[in-house]
């Protein structure tokens, strides 16, 4: 079930009847949250670059892998939740993780990438 404000937002944006078909949105916050909770583990060399807040080139192997791993991790979370009777869409999982990331002062830095796509 979507939070009330999400229902209202979707109603204003248009009728989406197949939101369950959406994947998580591979932005910069979700990998940070997934890393914090041990869902994603970075190679030490990548972790060092991210922790040093070095810029990852848009479209680079590291940046694309982070985005792909984020989408897949959210899908695996969705499946595991469903297996335990907790039905959620990837978009709902995305929203919850993103909201957790808004209080990220205790988390390691998020990856930096200059891009218009997220």
Instruction: State the catalytic residues.
Output: 27
Residues 54, 112: contact at Cβ < 8 Å?
A: yes
The enclosing H or E element of 77 equals helix 61-83
Residues 24, 70: contact at Cβ < 8 Å?
A: yes
Closest CA to 117 of 59, 46, 47, 49: 59
């Amino acid at each position: 079930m979507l939070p009330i404000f999400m229902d209202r937002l979707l109603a204003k944006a248009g009728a989406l009847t197949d939101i369950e078909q959406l994947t998580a949105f591979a932005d910069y916050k979700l990998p940070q949250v997934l890393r914090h909770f041990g869902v994603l583990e970075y190679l030490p060399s990548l972790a060092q670059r991210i922790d040093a807040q070095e810029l990852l080139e848009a479209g680079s192997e590291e940046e694309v892998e982070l985005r792909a791993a984020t989408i897949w991790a959210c899908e695996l979370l969705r499946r595991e939740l469903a297996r335990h009777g907790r039905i959620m869409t990837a978009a709902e999982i995305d929203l919850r993780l993103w909201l957790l990331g808004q209080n990220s002062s205790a988390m390691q830095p998020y990856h930096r990438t200059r891009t218009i796509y997220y």
